[in-house]
Structure 1
């Protein structure tokens, strides 16, 4: 299961619409969640609309939060999106088997068994998360909260029984003004790597959210393909252990629970 969590405090102003980019992500099987990070000022009306539209196009959730709510929101959003995605998949399976996607249509004993399967999958399914962080000039005083939220999210992911890994990008790139996005952390589950984050950032005024999303989508799809090749060969990609594939709904996970 693949997610992008976009953390931003303003409107995109360079390149492709981020709503179009988020729709592309959804087409690639990647959920896009958006957190609009605000302080005592009010995020512009257009910015609020954009946050909601990006999440809707990306099949994810949107939240407007203050700095002190960020860490809790990132963790909540990650978990709720996993559960939501599994519920959607289970609904499709029920539709295929019963002609009805509602859990309520099942007998109580069967319903409880399906719910148990859903709960287990939410904890055991493989999870890839990319944090995409707006580092335009207005975000500078908020970066400490962003870094703390990343650390807390890593701890939360490590508590899962399923395999989880995370990568971190910021935009615009600090190394070159010609790049829309820069990688801060490649796929990892190693907390020790967090001390490298945001070491030297050149805060910029532009906000190329759409182009940055496209770059991150390309990163996810490319590394997923490489991981698949290495897994079939018995190796490991990007310094990560090969893990077993999570159960798939389409393989009939509900066949033992539905009559």
Structure 2
């Protein structure tokens, strides 16, 4: 199963642990962290932009700064790009073990085509869990409608995959000074089950991005298990012609 956290924020963490450190911990536990920075007027600020990029880098993911109308397509693109990147990383690791090459491009053309076909199939068939973590600090209030639409669109797009896909939704800060993060929806695979996500959120000034990330990591660990690295779950298969084949049954 592939596991992702998608953080949607306008930057500026100001409470608790560093979000960069939290993202690194997530990645160490097999969870990729992507970050969508949302800006409507002006800019997100040099500090906010740098923080967004650093969080994604530490979490092994990607980041992009967008306006609210661009958010839905960006969320879907980032999710699928990360799926492809995770599979590519796993396949390249196996290629190094089996053939002594660093990547798919180094294979002979015939073998390369076979491997690419396997990778494309894996992108659609591997199980995927995406936890969305939404910044609900005061500065994000005008953007929450676009965020809710993006979540629904992402869930609908994931339903089209052959493999099992599910989404959970969290927002931060929580409802009190002792609550960094609130779960709005546990794992769901159907957009119609999400309901109105943010109707009762009380916007607050603090932005505890790091502590919120760690709470979501705890949730994923409890519900999905912990995998510290990409693991291959069986021995290399050998084709009838005696050459090794790339396996398609990874646990990620």
Query: Structure 2 length as normaliser, TM-score?
Result: 0.90
1:146 aligns with 2:129: no
Partner residue, 1:75? 76
Structure 2: distance between partners of 1:207 and 1:16: 11
> What is residue 180 of structure 1 aligned with on the other side?
180
Q: What is the rounded CA distance, in whole Å, between the counterparts of 1:107 and 1:138 in structure 2?
A: 53
The structure carrying a bigger helix percent of its residues is 1
Q: Name the structure 2 match of 1:245.
A: none
**Shift, 1:195, TM fit:** 1.7
SS of 1:196's equivalent?
coil
| SS state at 1:214 partner | helix
Shift of 1:254: 7.1
Question: Following TM superposition, by how much is the alpha carbon of 1:16 offset from its aligned partner in structure 2, in angstroms?
Answer: 0.2
Q: Which residue of 1 aligns with 2:27?
A: 26
Which secondary structure state, in structure 1, belongs to the residue aligned with residue 206 of structure 2?
coil
In the other structure, the counterpart of 1:231 is none
User: CA separation in 1, counterparts of 2:177 and 2:220?
Assistant: 23
Aligned match of 1:234: none
What is residue 113 of structure 1 aligned with on the other side?
Answer: 114
**Cα pair 2:236 2:244 within 8 Å, conserved:** no
Asked if the contact 1:38–1:66 (Cα under 8 Å) also holds between the matched residues in 2, the reply is yes
Query: How much has 1:107 moved relative to structure 2?
Result: 1.5
3-state SS in 1 of match to 2:194: helix
Aligned 8 A contact 1:137 1:204 in 2: yes
Q: Distance in 1 between matches of 2:183 and 2:170?
A: 4
Residues 93, 254 of structure 1: 8 Å contact kept: no
Q: Check the 8 A contact 1:103/1:111 in 2, yes or no.
A: yes
Give, in whole Å, the separation in 1 of the partners of 2:163 and 2:60: 22
Instruction: Structure 1: give runs of 5+ residues left out of the alignment.
Output: 227-247
Q: For residues 254 and 61 of structure 1, do their structure 2 counterparts lie closer, same or farther at Cα, with a shift above 3 Å needed?
A: farther
Partner in structure 2 of residue 219 of structure 1: 219
Residues 156 and 190 in structure 2, CA contact (< 8 A), matched pair in contact too: no
Q: Cα offset for 1:191?
A: 1.9
Deviation at 1:249, TM superposition (A): 4.5
Deviation of the 1:190 alpha carbon: 2.4
- SS of 1:10's equivalent? coil
What is the 5 A alignment of 1:65-104? Answer: 65-104=66-105
**Structure 1 residue 199: Cα displacement:** 2.0
Q: 1:162 to 1:206 in 2, by over 3 A?
A: same
Structure 1 pair 255/177, CA: closer, same or farther in 2 (3 Å)? farther
Shift of 1:105: 2.2
1:99, CA displacement in angstroms?
A: 1.5
Matched, 1:45 2:35: no
SS of match in other structure, 1:20: helix
Name whichever of 97-106 and 180-189 sits farther off: 97-106
Matches within 5 A, 1:177-256: 177-225=177-225, 249-251=232-234, 256=239
> Aligned to 2:195, what secondary structure does the other structure show?
helix
